[in-house]
Amino acid sequence: MIKSMTGYGIASFDSGNTKYTVELKSLNSKFLELSLRLPKAFSEKEFQLRNDCSKQIERGKVNLSINVEKASSTVSAAGIDKELLKHYFEQLKAVSVDLNEPTNNLLQLALGLPEVVKYDEETVSEEEWKIVENTFKQAMAAFQKFRSDEGNVLEQDVKYRIGIILKNLELVEVEEPKRVPVIKERLNQFLSEAVGRETIDQNRFEQELIYYIDKLDITEEKIRLKAHCNYFVETLANDDANGKKLGFISQEIGREINTLGSKANDANIQKLVVGMKEELEKIKEQLLNVL
């Protein structure tokens, strides 16, 4: 079964004081393009999250976000370096006196200078990380299920379109035998008008006709086209990620359809070939989103 590169998964856990939410979203891409949006406290876990995503997601333009909501707004504990504050204040005061400027807001200015106010560095406890890690696993499971469900829809669609191509191929086989009498009559009429029916060498005419019809023979193209379509359906059933492989097979299907059309020399067969090309283009569009 194939998977879609489009995916979405979300999971959350509410401990009472804190709510943790993990969200995964992806679109199609030739490679894995991973974008993470994490709280500063979880920055040291970025490598582990990237590694887990790389192993499980494989391809796609992926956005992972972790959101932490506190039940009550709490400000991280902060401390003031009093000696540094005094040093800044005295310097600002001296400059203000020298420049004959007011000294009303010097304390406020000093508090805003580097290293005066220091906040405690946010850290994540092992218990808190376990909660987030489990929530991430739940979001990933939902994400993978979404991809599988979307992949099932894509699989049914491309199978249906391959079926139309094979049905058109059966109709080509019905129309193909009708070509020979038409071609023979067309050539015979042309020669009659050009040189006269009495002067036509029938043996030579039959030889040239056989040569001409052999050039227009589409037996090999029909066999290969059917084989490629059957291989395409078999590949759909594989467990491995096979979007690229299906793309290669669709290219081979396209080659056989084009050759069949160029050798058809028949209006009815050309119409069937156009129908095949139309379905193949729709298949290729869908394969752009297959993992």
Distance from CA of residue 34 to its chain's centroid?
13
Same-domain pairing of 207 and 171 = yes
Nearest CA to 244 out of 281, 288, 279 is that of 288
Same-domain pairing of 180 and 241 = yes
22 strand-pairing partners = 11, 66
> Measured between alpha carbons, how far is 272 from 264 in angstroms, rounded to an integer?
10
Same-domain pairing of 233 and 140 = no
Least confident of 25-29, 35-39, 241-245: 241-245
Same-domain pairing of 158 and 62 = no
Same-domain pairing of 187 and 268 = yes
| 187 close to 210: Cβ distance less than 8 angstroms | no
Same-domain pairing of 136 and 174 = no
Q: What is the pLDDT of residues 65-83, one digit of tens each?
A: 999 888 765 545 557 878 8
> Measured between alpha carbons, how far is 273 from 88 in angstroms, rounded to an integer?
83
180, part of any domain: yes
> Measured between alpha carbons, how far is 156 from 149 in angstroms, rounded to an integer?
11
pLDDT of res. 277: 96
- pTM for this predicted structure: 0.72
1, part of any domain: no
pLDDT of res. 96: 83
Q: What is the pLDDT of residues 246-287, one digit of tens each?
A: 999 999 999 999 999 888 878 899 999 999 999 999 999 999
The full length of the chain comes to 291
Same-domain pairing of 210 and 228 = yes
Same-domain pairing of 28 and 137 = yes
Same-domain pairing of 170 and 229 = yes
Same-domain pairing of 277 and 156 = yes
251, part of any domain: yes
CATH code where residue 35 lies? 3.30.230
Same-domain pairing of 90 and 58 = no
**Range of the structural domain that residue 30 is part of:** 7-74+124-146
- For the cut 70, the answer to whether the pLDDT of residue 196 exceeds it is no
The residue ranking higher by pLDDT, 104 or 145, is 145
264, part of any domain: yes
The string of DSSP codes covering 216-282 is T--HHHHHHHHHHHHHHHHHHT-SS--HHHHHHHHHHHHHHHHHHHHHH--HHHHHHHHHHHHHHHH
Distance from CA of residue 3 to its chain's centroid?
10
SS3 string of 190-208? HHHHHHCHHHCCHHHHHHH
Q: What is the pLDDT of residues 5-26, one digit of tens each?
A: 999 999 999 988 889 999 999 9
pLDDT of res. 91: 86
Q: Which residues of 179-208 are buried (b: 16+ CB within 10 A; e: fewer)?
A: beeebeeebeeebeeeeeeeeeeeeeeeee
> Measured between alpha carbons, how far is 45 from 43 in angstroms, rounded to an integer?
5
The residue ranking higher by pLDDT, 236 or 182, is 236
Q: Which helix (H) or strand (E) holds 76?
A: none
The count of domains in the chain is 3
155, part of any domain: yes
